[in-house]
Structure 1
Amino acid sequence: MSDTTASLGRKIGTAGDLQSVVRTMKAVAASSIGQYERAVHALDDYYRTVQLGLVACLREMNPPAAPAQTKRSPTGAIAAVVFGSDQGLVGQFNDLMADFVVKTLAELPGQKTVWPVGERIRARLGETELVLGDGFVLPGSIGAITPLVGQILIEVEALREKEANAPVYVFYNSPHAGEIYTPTFQRLLPLDAVWQRESTAMAWPTKNLPEVMNAGEATLLAFVREYLFVSLFRACAESLASENASRLAAMQRAEKNIEELLEDLNRSFHRLRQSGIDEELFDVISGFEALTGG
């Protein structure tokens, strides 16, 4: 059935309403990107401070008090915290992350358990052969990240009580120059000999070498807790920034498609309206000629 001017008018109105929604979502996504990126930048100096504190503690302890690497059987447990999204309209954000997690964990021996953060990534990982552990609700603001990190650390501690040397990884999408985001991962635990060697290799920023007073081991453990907290907080903030960047890109594509659709609809509407006017003029002229005998 061919469109009428009334039906085209309704389609134009619906497309206009959808365009308003898309523009609002664009504005929200752009604003969210800013707050999460600022949070990541704000963490940089603190993360650096924690790293330097670890360097100071490890260099003074002989042997270091951090857990040394031990051999793990191929059937040992491996845990992975995976940040995704709770909401849609993010393009391939969750699909790329799920594929990256599956590919990366497939190269590691042992029984893997995945803790998804976000309903969308949980559903996507549920389609794989990975074992899903308890999921977490993705925070909707900067202030909600801290309680989430606390919950994750509780789960990590429970796992480490069962298997002290169980590796723990965190997977997240990180903003990347030249791209919207890039899937990446970090091994959080164990803090083995390799980790200690890499940490102590960091150059001290001044010529005045530090000294850890009194309880060096307690200080080291405090820095380790802060290291884990900051690492997870940063991963979550970068994932949320990447999610909103992906949503912004999706909304920009949607807005462009809507603009093209509106252009086509308006063109069809004006053409159909002009055709109706031409028909009415033709009928008037034909009637006039019939009355005048012309």
Structure 2
Amino acid sequence: MATSLTALRRQIGSAGDLKSVVRTMKASAASAIGQYERSVAALADYAHTVELGLSVCLRSIAAEGAPAPSPPARADDAVVHAIVFGSDQGLVGRFNEVVVEHALAQLAPAKPTLKVWAVGERVQARLVDAGLTPESVFLVPGSVELITRLVGQLLLKVQLPDSAASAYAQEATLMLFYNRPNAGGYAPVSQRLLPLDGSWQRRLATQPWPTAQLPEVLGHSRQALSAFIREHLFVSLFRACAESLASENASRLAAMQRADRNIGELLQELQANFHQLRQAGIDEELFDVIAGFDALAPSDAATP
């Protein structure tokens, strides 16, 4: 009896400690979600500024009579660079599986020559299991401040046909795969950064300027366009990474909420068993006392 009570007391203590850890991880995940969502919202203004700069450059090139960059017809053997954002840590449910399945579904029909780049050790393992060996693996940044470093590493490491942005905007294919937060948690999305979408360029070139003072491009329009395309790549990669991190923490928060609920139910069951076993021990001792009293009662009555 004592051994069983001791074992139950130890299990209750371990479950209580685990519940404290889970609650700490819940608080950390909830805090991180807000941090990354705020960074995405703050990036929206800068992204809009970059689009305005692109629109000015495209209009200037059109005014010069030069054709705007347009995506060429893709050859069957063209190399597609795919960056897949996942996680380094576990306890995120099917976060990595979902984004890998989405990437495979998007890339499989065309059957291109692929070069895959993984952000996160966990998603790397899923890609290898699916038959895709990443060219390189990058660590997932642990804060908003480290996202900029990751984006710089990606732009340097992912070797594209030409270092000039205006050139590889037409020749290379660069796709992003990541999870984006939504009302239900997150959903996998894909984004083609290069070649630049033709309809998107036409929309930028024709959109009205927000003020009455029309801007002018100083210097060569192509060089300015190249610089703005690099900024467009930076903004898109930064946003993809931040949204992936927000989704990862949302998935971890949901997993921790389920774990917290399961541990709470387990604690209730263990405590009920503990009290039941303890009460059974008390009842057994009382029965022993009563039985001893009943055994001694006849001899006491026979004494003169």
Give me the TM-score of the superposition, normalised by structure 1: 0.93
Cα deviation 1:40-82 (Å, max 9, x = unaligned): 1110111111111111111121255753221221111001011
Aligned residue for 1:160? 161
Aligned residue for 2:188? 183
Paired letter, 1:150: G
What runs of 5+ residues in structure 2 fail to find an aligned partner?
Answer: none
Are 2:175 and 2:194, in contact at CA under 8 Å, matched by a contact in 1?
yes
Does residue 56 (structure 1) correspond to residue 61 (structure 2)? The answer is no
Identity %: 55
State the secondary structure of the residue aligned to 1:135.
Answer: strand
1:218 is displaced (CA, Å) by 2.0
Aligned residue for 2:96? 94
Cα separation, partners in 2 of 1:251 and 1:155, compared to 1, 3 Å: same
Paired letter, 1:291: L
- Which stretch of the first structure deviates more once superposed, 251-260 or 191-200? 191-200
Are 1:67 and 1:190, in contact at CA under 8 Å, matched by a contact in 2?
no
- Which stretch of the first structure deviates more once superposed, 93-102 or 130-139? 130-139
Aligned residue for 2:257? 252
**Whole-Å separation in 2 of the counterparts to 1:64 and 1:192:** 18
Aligned residue for 2:19? 19
Q: How does 1:110-189 map to 2 (within 5 A)?
A: 110-156=112-158, 158-161=159-162, 164=168, 165-176=171-182, 178-189=183-194
**Whole-Å separation in 2 of the counterparts to 1:130 and 1:198:** 36
Cα separation, partners in 2 of 1:269 and 1:24, compared to 1, 3 Å: same
1:5 is displaced (CA, Å) by 1.3
1:202 is displaced (CA, Å) by 3.7
Are 2:119 and 2:138, in contact at CA under 8 Å, matched by a contact in 1?
yes
Regions of 4+ moved over 4 Å: 63-66
Does residue 243 (structure 1) correspond to residue 248 (structure 2)? The answer is yes
- Which stretch of the first structure deviates more once superposed, 20-29 or 184-193? 184-193
**Whole-Å separation in 1 of the counterparts to 2:211 and 2:180:** 31
1:262 is displaced (CA, Å) by 0.2
Are 2:61 and 2:68, in contact at CA under 8 Å, matched by a contact in 1?
no
What runs of 5+ residues in structure 1 fail to find an aligned partner?
Answer: none
Paired letter, 1:71: A
Are 1:149 and 1:232, in contact at CA under 8 Å, matched by a contact in 2?
yes
State the secondary structure of the residue aligned to 1:129.
Answer: coil
Q: Which has the larger radius of gyration?
A: 2
Are 1:167 and 1:187, in contact at CA under 8 Å, matched by a contact in 2?
yes
Cα deviation 1:143-200 (Å, max 9, x = unaligned): 11111101111133x2223994121001111111x21111111111112534422432
Paired letter, 2:32: S
Paired letter, 1:288: F
